[in-house]
A and B are shown apart, each in its own frame.
Chain A
């Protein structure tokens, strides 16, 4: 068999294509309980289920926002939560034309014999979990592999381990009806320049597709979630146009045409930076056979979170802030962003050194 051909083939292809609709993108709201705790702590809100539910309800019911969104990645807890008035989140999303997705990895662990490099866990029992998530309404999944740039990193071991981990996760998802988002994040930490990031990103993504092909993954039923190609956090800054050029070149060299969409992670970029870079990519006059869109967590939620500050009376304003970012990014996927949303909180860098997700 050349690629996965089973009972979910048609649905996988359809879902992946839909998520990659130009003008739409993904809201990554899959922060683990620990991570969302950090977010809530930053606005002095207690990390209890009610507050986690309140934040996600704020996002999912923001007027006008869902049309900009094709999918939302959820954490397991959220997949089973409801609105305050008792409507399952999954239904809210589905009615809004948004595909529910689910984070399925179980975090990273160190690779012995390397200099702090990691691999991602989560394969055990994954098939059964995917089946349950499918029953609960999820139709896509996400698994985050992490690589870093250093004098001798990423090592061949780290690249191969993470690539094969992603491939194994991907085929298990497809066998159980979920479109796998393949996420090989190359961290921005470091003093390196954009050329170095480009070399590493190309090498990593090439290894990923080799592994996906070896594992018979149906590329038409997947999405890629890469980092943009940027200078290191301590490296010399460049304009969005330069980032766009290096990023799209890297993808042209590594991503087969069969992949319907590429949904970028924002890493530690500010909301505005991420949008501007995405916009510049979509304005580039070059071959782009896949949709170039977003799968942003912090870069969609940051201002919203700060505006909400945990207070009911701020919900309206917070939802408005959220809509501003959604609209901006939706326009950016069409190369039509006018730069008018770049004020205040939106320009704050979100980079955290050695960020643990």
Chain B
């Protein structure tokens, strides 16, 4: 809007003010200056964005999220008794990203900034290793959640400042998709303000990403925290996604070049009744059909505290009949948990840990195709990973 209100030629540069040679032209009433219409934010990169999105949303594949911030990665390492330093973070990510055959089930991996610029111990850039393994590099671009003033103790997501140039740099380094995670809390409302801010922030980030060649993953996570019913979840999810798509459209985002990362529609973690995978699938698909235009190529669900097996079962239930969009996964904990515990930081465990990762990746690949069965899953894989008040 701002660009169209200022007429070309008007400037606040000191020379013009000083010389008084130009004054701001007052808009005459009844003569709107606004240019009629939209140029897609993505114009320069349109074809590549569409291609990237399609590749990430390919049948039988999903996303491995390894974009934990250093602090969060520290928690993971601490859980297996490892110090949080760059070497350990690099070792862990190397284990994950160079797992042989991973690209058969994983189409893309979301990285944290540090990792995007790291290399394997053999000196090969992670992005190159990933490409060779048929895995598209992605990059987390948001700068985290902070309290939202005037809200009901809710958060908003920062990161728009300088996002354009950062995105351009990430593209140069080899990233082809981006991710921005904002949250919505049902116990705290959510307030209109929080929902609008979440949706607007995502829309602005999406437009900027596309303008710089990155496919934006749009992630408004509706937190699992709370004792609300699945019906309430559905209500909030529909509200949030209506706002998101409205603002995406207003920001002229190219829908064929985005991916979504929604929460599944489930009861809150403290709700008295659990929902079966069939129920989760029914509610989630209902929400998607009511809110997601078919131009969007892929919907990659977050796991948000579900156990590895739960996340897989729910995804499988959603793929029992054809959907107009690719319905898949973008899991962090639900892919990494057993792998991490198997590794324990020891080089001699790397192979076994990679086997564990492949096992989960393959299970979720089957779920994407609607062909997964939960027999032979370990208790570990079934253990819930919900942490109340979890901060990422």
Taking Cβ atoms with an 8 Å cutoff, the residues of A that contact B are 1-3, 151-153, 155, 196, 199-200, 202-203, 206-207, 209-210, 213-214, 219-220, 249, 252-258, 287-289
Contacts and interface: CB of A to CB of B under 8 A. Distances in A.
Contacts of B289: 219, 256-258
6 contacts: A2-B239, A151-B36, A152-B36, A206-B245, A257-B290, A289-B324
Contact of A256 (B231, B246, B292): B292
A254 B294 CA distance: 8
A65 B176 CA distance: 54
Q: Which of A153, A202, A219 has the most CB atoms of chain B within a 10 A radius of its CB?
A: A202
A277 to B, nearest CB: 20
Interface string B284-314: 0010111111110000000000000000000
Nearest to B234: A2
A38 B280 CA distance: 55
A180 to B, nearest CB: 16
Nearest to B37: A199
A213 B242 contact: yes
Which residue among B36, B234, B289 has the maximum number of chain A CB atoms within 10 Å of its CB?
B36
Given A199-B38, A200-B37, A258-B289, 10 more contacts: A2-B239, A3-B290, A199-B37, A213-B238, A214-B242, A220-B290, A252-B294, A253-B256, A253-B293, A253-B295
A213 B231 CA distance: 16
A155 B37 CA distance: 11
A114 to B, nearest CB: 10
A257 B288 contact: yes
A135 to B, nearest CB: 30
Interface in B183-212: none
Interface residues of B, number: 26
Given A3-B238, A206-B249, A257-B288, A152 B293 contact: no
B255 A253 contact: yes
B34 interface: yes
Contacts of A207: 246
Contacts of A220: 290
A249 B295 contact: yes
Contacts of B169: none
B249 A203 contact: yes
Q: Which 3 A-B residue pairings sit nearest by Cβ, starting from the closest?
A: A252-B295, A213-B242, A258-B289
A254 B238 contact: no
B235 A2 contact: yes
Contacts of B32: 152, 155
Contact of B290 (A196, A214, A258): A258
Contacts of A255: 293-294
A221 to B, nearest CB: 12
Query: Max chain B CB contacts within 10 Å: which of A3, A200, A207, A257?
Result: A257
Contacts of A254: 249, 293
Nearest to B247: A210
Contacts of B286: 258
Given A152-B32, A253-B293, A206 B246 contact: yes
Contacts of B34: 152
B22 to A, nearest CB: 25
Contacts of B293: 252-257
Contacts of B290: 3, 213, 219-220, 256-258
Interface in B8-48: 32, 34, 36-38
A155 B295 CA distance: 26
Contacts of A2: 231, 234-235, 238-239
A213 B290 CA distance: 9
A343 B290 CA distance: 42
Contacts of A203: 37-38, 249
A24 B249 CA distance: 32
A210 B36 CA distance: 21
A1 B234 CA distance: 9
Contact of A287 (B38, B239, B288, B324): B324
Nearest to B29: A113
A1 B235 CA distance: 6
A303 B286 CA distance: 43
Contacts of B288: 257
A256 B239 CA distance: 14
A214 to B, nearest CB: 7
A81 B10 CA distance: 65
A256 B324 contact: no
Interface string B125-162: 00000000000000000000000000000000000000
A125 B362 CA distance: 59
Interface in B235-260: 235, 238-239, 242, 245-246, 249, 255-256
B72 to A, nearest CB: 33
A100 B64 CA distance: 52
Contacts of A202: 249
Nearest to A255: B293
A317 B100 CA distance: 73
Contacts of B255: 252-253
A289 B292 CA distance: 12
Contacts of B38: 199, 203
Contact of B242 (A1, A210, A287): A210
Contacts of A152: 32, 34, 36
Contacts of B256: 253
A234 B240 CA distance: 41
A184 B247 CA distance: 20
B249 A257 contact: no
Contacts of A288: 294
B159 to A, nearest CB: 25
A213 B291 contact: yes
A158 to B, nearest CB: 12
Contacts of A253: 249, 255-256, 293, 295
B280 to A, nearest CB: 16
A190 B287 CA distance: 39
A287 B57 CA distance: 15
